[in-house]
Amino acid sequence: MTLSIWRYSHLTLAISSFLFIIVAAITGVILAFEPVSNQLETYSVSHLSEVSVAEMITVLQEEYEEVISVEIDNNSFVVADVITKEGESQTCYIDPKTGKKLGDIKPKASIYKFATTLHRSLFLKSIGRFFVGLVSFLLFLITVSGLVLILKRQGSLKKFFNKVTWENFYQYFHVVLGRLSIIPLIIITISGVYLSLEKFNLLPKEKISHAIDFDHLKAEPQQKISNFKIFQQTKLSELRKIDFPFSSDVEDYFLVQVTDKEFTVNQITGEVLSEVHYPFTKVVAYYSLLLHTGQGSIFWAIILAFSSIATLFFVYSGFAMTFQRIKGKTRNKFKKETCEYVILVGTENGSTQTFAKMLYRAMINAGKKVFITDLNKYTTFENMQHLVVLTATYGEGEAPSNASKFLKLLQDKTIHNHPFSFSVVAFGSLAYPKFCQFGFDVDAALTSNENATMLLPIHTINNKSFEAFSQWKQEFSNTNQTELKLDKTILTKRKKTVLLPLVRKVTNDFAKETFLLEFDCNVKFTSGDLLGIYPNDQEHERLYSIAKINDKLLLSVKRHELGICSNYLHNLVAGNSINAFVKKNPTFHFPEKAPKVIMIATGTGIAPFLGMINEAKSTKVDLYFGLPNKASLQIYESVLNEKKLSKINYVFSREGDKKVYVQDVIAEQIDQIISDLHNGTVIMICGAIAMQNAIFLVLETALEKNGKTLSYYKNRNQILVDCY
């Protein structure tokens, strides 16, 4: 429930202020370039910490007839108000080492004037300043709520910078950019609010006044200004402004302003007459201005520009995700009290809702009366006989935003008091330690409900796998004796394809169902990427992991008797072409910086490794390759570069009397593998999901003894998986 409050607060605050935030962000980007351009000017002085006030005054008095004041602005420009030897009054930029004039004062560029006024007050003066201050505060709250949501998503502060699981473009970069810009945004918003409070005189103010005893001013011993100790000790990097005496009378003095205080100096003796420290509020206001504007620092100005651009993306991606959720909602064809089937959905970003919509339409097309709604809207369904729950898990095992009340509602026996069967489909990512945890919680709660009977065991879906969902659909169809046809176009749009000519086909006389295909490909790709194929111009693509060998695209295929795509590919001959697309798969690329890589594959899962092994340079590579028998290895001999492998383990499951699988060999060598993991080795697994699960079980058992978890190494990108 607490999580829902943070989520809805984040969204509500963003909706209520997004127009002002857009204006502030756009003008913020423009204004971030002003300090950068200023720093590139020749007037900027970089050696302020090397020059003392005494040195500067000495050269100025030699260069000019009279010096009225010297000010060092936030851009490190030294501005002097002087009277020249010719009697001309000038205000100009000077070099404090030589006293020479560097240039006349440049007026602020019109674009920066416009952007500054719009950024500060929206051209509405005091009313505008109030709204800008309010929006700064709202943006601060949005940033804080966003920080809380990222912490919830990642699991803890310790895991804040762990890998973010890809769900979609908007979600991924909303989180990634959020993590990068969270600290600058907090600084920007707090400093903006503080400057607004100061502008409206809402901060405590202390009047600065100097108590000078004019009756006891000393006129001796007379010293040269270059010998004034206070001026020798004060560097220009500390100085903000110095006002010179109007006359040579002892009653007139130097007024010096530095970062945290100001003091007066006897112009004859160099004695400090009075010193007043600025109140804390004034010092904070000074640093707030620097931090909010980036004045004086190219590095910080660039960070401010990046944060402003990121803010614009947050508005865009936030609304895109919100509209995706709204768009994903399904209108019910039947009223809830008339339906035998009820689908309840728990989703955070709308992707689970898409699967639910696909199931809903399939059941409607099969002639079933179905009602679909959120888990939080669980209520009395008078005619319900079958309940299907499709739910995601948020962060560390928590409920999605529209499912936070379900477990409590289920405990209320007055809501639903007649028998029904249920099936739970849980969506999640193996990158998170509590994979599909909320789905398991729902399944456990329904199992303990006296009115509920389990129709099918809980089914988990990793990374929104359509294939895994199709497997559950088939089990559900068989149990209900209803043929369901899923329309995958609801899930993904057809991708744009390119024509790939088949250069070579390699077959095996001893294992005729397995073959290699080598294509010419003009599209950029890397071993480990995926090739999407629409067999016979079907709407649903099939994905194959691919290798890059000598700039050719290679894939390994096993023909299945009823497989549409595998039969389509099996019938190809050299010279034929296919329509396909390359899907980038950066999470399964060869880790070149790893000291060692352990590759584990079964059957056609060897495909991406064939290219990676061929391209490996100095990285050590161990291969564990599971096959039915020695004869099935023949097809890979021409493309498997054994010379680049430091260790090869062929595992033949159907040779000899006893069946041996890859996971058995892994278990035998587990101590060395765990030691390698500890030293930075990356394990890559490609092949059947059953093999992956078996290897995970072996690894988890061994890691428990070492005080580590599988998720620890997954989060460090030391376990990479592409299984099907």
Q: How far apart are CA 426 and CA 443, in angstroms?
A: 9
Tokens of 393: 């898990």
Task: Check if the beta carbon of residue 346 is closer than 8 Å to that of residue 301.
Answer: no
Give the Cβ contact number of residue 135 at 10 Å. 24
Sheet harboring 530-533: ordered strands across? 542-545, 530-533, 577-583, 498-507, 514-519, 552-558, 547-549
Rg (CA), the chain: 35
pLDDT on residue 715? 74
Query: How big is the chain, counted in residues?
Result: 724
Q: What are phi and psi of 316, to 5 degrees?
A: -65, -50
Whole-structure pTM value: 0.66
pLDDT for res 163: 76
Alpha-carbon gap, residue 465 to 443, rounded angstroms = 20
593-596 contacts at long range (C-beta below 8 A, 24 or more positions apart): 594/619, 594/680, 594/681, 594/682, 594/718, 595/619, 595/620, 595/679, 595/680, 595/681, 596/620, 596/621, 596/622, 596/646, 596/676, 596/679, 596/680, 596/681, 596/682
Task: Supply φ then ψ for residue 207, to 5 degrees.
Answer: -75, 130
C-beta of residue 639 within 8 angstroms of C-beta of residue 518:
no
SS3 call for 701: helix
Distance CA 43, CA 683 (A): 56
Tokens of 421: 């069967």
Confidence (pLDDT) at 1:
47
Question: What does the alpha-carbon distance between residue 451 and residue 447 come to, in Å, rounded to a whole number?
Answer: 9
- Supply the pLDDT for residue 4: 59
Rounded CA gap, 222 and 54, in Å? 15
Question: What pLDDT shows up at residue 156?
Answer: 74
Domains, the chain:
2-40+111-204+289-322 (no CATH), 48-110 (3.10.450), 330-489 (3.40.50.360), 498-723 (3.40.50.80)
Tally Cβ neighbours within 10 Å of residue 615. 17
The Cα–Cα gap between 612 and 384 comes to 53
> Which token pair is 178?
């959020």
> How far is the CA of 507 from the CAs of 512, 604, 632, in angstroms?
6, 13, 10
Cβ count within 10 A of residue 157: 10
State the Cα–Cα distance between residues 517 and 523, nearest whole angstrom.
Answer: 17
pLDDT along the chain (724 residues), means of 10: 67 87 95 90 84 95 95 92 94 94 91 94 91 92 90 78 78 91 95 93 86 89 93 95 94 95 96 94 93 92 96 93 75 92 89 90 94 93 94 85 88 84 90 84 93 92 84 90 84 82 87 89 93 82 90 92 88 92 89 92 93 88 91 86 88 82 93 93 91 90 86 84 83
Sign of CA pseudo-dihedral 140, 146, 149, 153: negative
Backbone angles phi, psi at 310, to 5 degrees: -60, -40
pLDDT of the residue at 280: 92
Query: What's the CA angle centered on 240, arms 239 and 246, to 5 degrees?
Result: 95
